[in-house]
Chain A
Protein backbone atom coordinates (compact mmCIF):
# COMPACT_ATOMS: atom_id res chain seq x y z
CA UNK A 1 0.00 0.00 0.00
CA UNK A 2 1.38 3.37 -1.03
CA UNK A 3 2.12 5.62 1.96
CA UNK A 4 2.78 9.34 1.48
CA UNK A 5 4.47 11.35 4.24
CA UNK A 6 5.00 15.09 4.44
CA UNK A 7 7.54 16.80 6.65
CA UNK A 8 7.28 19.14 8.47
CA UNK A 9 3.62 19.07 9.53
CA UNK A 10 3.74 22.81 10.18
CA UNK A 11 6.14 25.60 9.34
CA UNK A 12 6.28 29.30 10.23
CA UNK A 13 8.68 31.62 8.41
CA UNK A 14 9.13 35.39 8.06
CA UNK A 15 8.23 37.00 4.77
CA UNK A 16 10.96 36.86 2.12
CA UNK A 17 12.50 33.54 3.17
CA UNK A 18 13.04 30.71 0.72
CA UNK A 19 11.64 27.42 1.99
CA UNK A 20 11.44 23.73 1.17
CA UNK A 21 8.57 21.34 1.81
CA UNK A 22 9.26 17.62 1.73
CA UNK A 23 7.19 14.67 0.51
CA UNK A 24 8.15 11.00 0.56
CA UNK A 25 6.35 7.94 -0.79
CA UNK A 26 6.96 4.25 -0.19
CA UNK A 27 6.36 2.75 -3.65
CA UNK A 28 8.34 4.20 -6.55
CA UNK A 29 5.89 2.79 -9.12
CA UNK A 30 3.97 5.99 -9.77
CA UNK A 31 2.50 7.69 -12.83
CA UNK A 32 3.01 11.20 -11.52
CA UNK A 33 3.18 13.40 -8.44
CA UNK A 34 1.09 16.49 -7.90
CA UNK A 35 1.47 19.37 -5.43
CA UNK A 36 -1.67 21.16 -4.26
CA UNK A 37 -2.47 24.18 -2.14
CA UNK A 38 -5.48 24.25 0.19
CA UNK A 39 -6.75 27.39 1.88
CA UNK A 40 -8.81 26.97 5.08
CA UNK A 41 -12.25 25.53 4.35
CA UNK A 42 -11.57 25.45 0.63
CA UNK A 43 -10.85 22.92 -2.06
CA UNK A 44 -7.49 22.05 -3.57
CA UNK A 45 -5.67 24.18 -6.13
CA UNK A 46 -3.28 22.29 -8.38
CA UNK A 47 0.19 23.87 -8.31
CA UNK A 48 2.50 21.54 -10.20
CA UNK A 49 2.39 18.07 -11.75
CA UNK A 50 5.57 16.08 -12.33
CA UNK A 51 5.38 13.06 -14.58
CA UNK A 52 7.30 9.98 -13.46
CA UNK A 53 9.85 10.51 -16.25
CA UNK A 54 10.54 14.11 -15.24
CA UNK A 55 12.91 15.50 -12.61
CA UNK A 56 11.37 18.89 -11.93
CA UNK A 57 8.72 21.43 -12.84
CA UNK A 58 8.65 25.17 -12.30
CA UNK A 59 5.86 27.72 -12.08
CA UNK A 60 6.73 31.25 -11.05
CA UNK A 61 8.26 31.18 -7.56
CA UNK A 62 7.53 27.45 -7.18
CA UNK A 63 9.84 24.62 -8.14
CA UNK A 64 9.06 20.96 -7.54
CA UNK A 65 11.56 18.15 -7.91
CA UNK A 66 11.05 14.42 -8.08
CA UNK A 67 13.49 11.60 -7.28
CA UNK A 68 11.36 8.58 -8.03
CA UNK A 69 13.99 5.98 -7.17
CA UNK A 70 14.36 7.30 -3.64
CA UNK A 71 10.65 8.09 -3.27
CA UNK A 72 11.09 11.80 -2.60
CA UNK A 73 9.80 15.12 -3.85
CA UNK A 74 10.44 18.66 -2.68
CA UNK A 75 8.50 21.86 -3.24
CA UNK A 76 10.70 24.94 -3.16
CA UNK A 77 9.04 28.32 -2.61
CA UNK A 78 11.21 31.34 -3.33
CA UNK A 79 10.80 34.72 -1.62
CA UNK A 80 7.79 33.67 0.45
CA UNK A 81 4.87 36.07 0.91
CA UNK A 82 2.03 36.20 3.47
CA UNK A 83 -0.33 35.17 0.65
CA UNK A 84 1.53 31.85 0.45
CA UNK A 85 0.10 30.88 3.85
CA UNK A 86 -1.93 27.70 3.31
CA UNK A 87 -1.69 23.93 3.61
CA UNK A 88 0.39 22.26 0.92
CA UNK A 89 -0.46 18.69 -0.03
CA UNK A 90 1.45 16.27 -2.21
CA UNK A 91 -0.23 13.34 -3.91
CA UNK A 92 0.98 10.47 -6.07
CA UNK A 93 -0.91 8.51 -8.71
CA UNK A 94 0.08 4.88 -8.08
CA UNK A 95 1.20 2.84 -11.05
CA UNK A 96 -1.21 0.03 -10.20
CA UNK A 97 -4.30 2.21 -10.52
CA UNK A 98 -3.55 5.17 -12.73
CA UNK A 99 -6.41 7.18 -11.36
CA UNK A 100 -6.67 7.40 -7.55
CA UNK A 101 -4.51 10.01 -5.87
CA UNK A 102 -2.76 9.02 -2.62
CA UNK A 103 -2.30 12.10 -0.45
CA UNK A 104 -0.04 13.03 2.40
CA UNK A 105 -1.46 14.87 5.42
CA UNK A 106 -0.02 18.16 4.27
CA UNK A 107 2.30 20.86 5.56
CA UNK A 108 0.63 23.90 7.14
CA UNK A 109 2.62 26.99 6.16
CA UNK A 110 2.40 30.39 7.84
CA UNK A 111 4.33 33.30 6.38
CA UNK A 112 4.46 36.25 8.76
CA UNK A 113 4.84 39.87 7.60
Chain B
Protein backbone atom coordinates (compact mmCIF):
# COMPACT_ATOMS: atom_id res chain seq x y z
CA UNK B 1 0.00 0.00 0.00
CA UNK B 2 1.20 3.50 -0.80
CA UNK B 3 2.23 5.66 2.11
CA UNK B 4 1.64 9.38 2.50
CA UNK B 5 2.77 11.14 -0.68
CA UNK B 6 3.73 14.79 -0.92
CA UNK B 7 4.49 16.99 -3.90
CA UNK B 8 6.67 18.63 -4.91
CA UNK B 9 9.72 17.25 -3.11
CA UNK B 10 11.68 20.47 -3.46
CA UNK B 11 10.66 24.03 -4.21
CA UNK B 12 12.52 27.32 -4.49
CA UNK B 13 10.60 30.59 -4.21
CA UNK B 14 11.41 34.24 -3.64
CA UNK B 15 10.12 36.52 -0.91
CA UNK B 16 6.56 37.74 -1.45
CA UNK B 17 5.51 34.83 -3.64
CA UNK B 18 2.93 32.24 -2.70
CA UNK B 19 3.21 28.47 -2.69
CA UNK B 20 0.89 25.46 -2.72
CA UNK B 21 1.99 22.13 -1.28
CA UNK B 22 0.04 18.93 -1.81
CA UNK B 23 -0.51 15.77 0.21
CA UNK B 24 -2.25 12.46 -0.45
CA UNK B 25 -3.01 10.42 2.68
CA UNK B 26 -2.81 6.69 3.11
CA UNK B 27 -5.87 5.01 1.63
CA UNK B 28 -8.66 4.92 4.22
CA UNK B 29 -7.21 7.73 6.33
CA UNK B 30 -9.57 10.65 6.79
CA UNK B 31 -7.33 12.98 8.78
CA UNK B 32 -4.47 15.05 7.40
CA UNK B 33 -2.12 17.22 9.45
CA UNK B 34 0.56 19.66 8.37
CA UNK B 35 3.81 20.38 10.23
CA UNK B 36 6.70 22.76 9.65
CA UNK B 37 10.22 21.60 10.55
CA UNK B 38 13.09 24.06 10.50
CA UNK B 39 16.63 22.76 10.60
CA UNK B 40 17.63 21.34 13.98
CA UNK B 41 14.15 21.55 15.46
CA UNK B 42 11.25 19.19 15.92
CA UNK B 43 8.20 19.61 13.68
CA UNK B 44 5.69 22.31 14.66
CA UNK B 45 1.96 21.72 14.18
CA UNK B 46 0.24 23.95 11.60
CA UNK B 47 -3.18 22.44 10.82
CA UNK B 48 -5.26 19.33 11.09
CA UNK B 49 -8.23 18.51 8.86
CA UNK B 50 -10.72 15.72 9.37
CA UNK B 51 -13.57 14.94 7.00
CA UNK B 52 -12.85 18.21 5.16
CA UNK B 53 -13.28 20.32 8.30
CA UNK B 54 -10.49 22.14 10.13
CA UNK B 55 -10.06 20.42 13.48
CA UNK B 56 -7.20 22.47 14.82
CA UNK B 57 -4.68 25.16 14.04
CA UNK B 58 -1.27 25.86 15.50
CA UNK B 59 0.37 29.19 16.21
CA UNK B 60 0.97 30.30 12.62
CA UNK B 61 -0.03 33.56 10.90
CA UNK B 62 -3.02 33.90 8.59
CA UNK B 63 -0.65 33.71 5.62
CA UNK B 64 -0.91 29.95 6.13
CA UNK B 65 -4.10 28.25 5.00
CA UNK B 66 -5.14 24.75 4.06
CA UNK B 67 -8.03 22.71 2.81
CA UNK B 68 -9.02 19.09 2.45
CA UNK B 69 -10.78 17.68 -0.59
CA UNK B 70 -13.55 15.03 -0.83
CA UNK B 71 -10.92 12.37 -1.59
CA UNK B 72 -9.16 13.41 1.68
CA UNK B 73 -6.11 14.84 -0.08
CA UNK B 74 -5.00 18.23 1.16
CA UNK B 75 -3.27 21.43 0.13
CA UNK B 76 -1.25 23.82 2.25
CA UNK B 77 -1.04 27.37 0.94
CA UNK B 78 1.40 30.00 2.12
CA UNK B 79 1.11 33.61 0.91
CA UNK B 80 3.59 36.49 1.04
CA UNK B 81 6.54 34.18 1.65
CA UNK B 82 9.22 35.26 4.11
CA UNK B 83 12.79 34.02 4.46
CA UNK B 84 11.74 32.40 7.74
CA UNK B 85 9.29 30.15 5.92
CA UNK B 86 12.21 28.11 4.60
CA UNK B 87 11.67 24.67 6.10
CA UNK B 88 10.67 21.08 5.53
CA UNK B 89 6.87 20.87 5.37
CA UNK B 90 5.55 17.52 6.50
CA UNK B 91 2.15 16.00 5.97
CA UNK B 92 0.79 13.26 8.23
CA UNK B 93 -2.31 11.14 7.92
CA UNK B 94 -4.25 8.99 10.36
CA UNK B 95 -7.65 7.39 10.72
CA UNK B 96 -8.40 10.40 12.90
CA UNK B 97 -11.33 9.02 14.84
CA UNK B 98 -12.14 11.22 17.81
CA UNK B 99 -11.35 9.66 21.16
CA UNK B 100 -9.16 6.92 19.72
CA UNK B 101 -5.74 6.96 21.37
CA UNK B 102 -4.21 4.06 19.48
CA UNK B 103 -4.04 5.58 16.01
CA UNK B 104 -0.53 6.65 15.01
CA UNK B 105 0.17 9.45 12.60
CA UNK B 106 2.08 8.44 9.46
CA UNK B 107 4.29 10.99 7.76
CA UNK B 108 5.32 11.62 4.18
CA UNK B 109 8.84 12.56 3.10
CA UNK B 110 7.99 16.24 3.08
CA UNK B 111 8.45 19.20 0.76
CA UNK B 112 11.71 21.13 1.16
CA UNK B 113 10.84 24.82 0.66
CA UNK B 114 13.65 27.31 0.18
CA UNK B 115 12.97 31.05 0.09
CA UNK B 116 15.53 33.31 -1.61
Residues of A within 8 A of B (CB): 4, 31-32, 34, 36, 41-46, 49, 51-53, 89, 91, 93, 97-106
Contacts and interface: CB of A to CB of B under 8 A. Distances in A.
Contact of B48 (A46, A100, A102): A100
Contacts of B107: 36, 43-46
Contacts of A52: 101
B43 A32 contact: no
Contacts of B92: 44, 101
Interface residues of B, number: 32
Interface stretch (B11-19, B64-72, B108-116): B108-116
Interface in B1-56: 4, 6, 31, 33, 35, 40-45, 48, 50, 55-56
B42 A99 contact: no
26 contacts: A4-B42, A32-B101, A34-B104, A42-B110, A43-B4, A43-B90, A43-B108, A43-B109, A44-B43, A44-B92, A46-B104, A46-B107, A49-B102, A51-B101, A53-B101, A99-B50, A99-B55, A99-B96, A100-B45, A100-B48, A100-B56, A101-B33, A101-B35, A103-B44, A104-B42, A105-B42
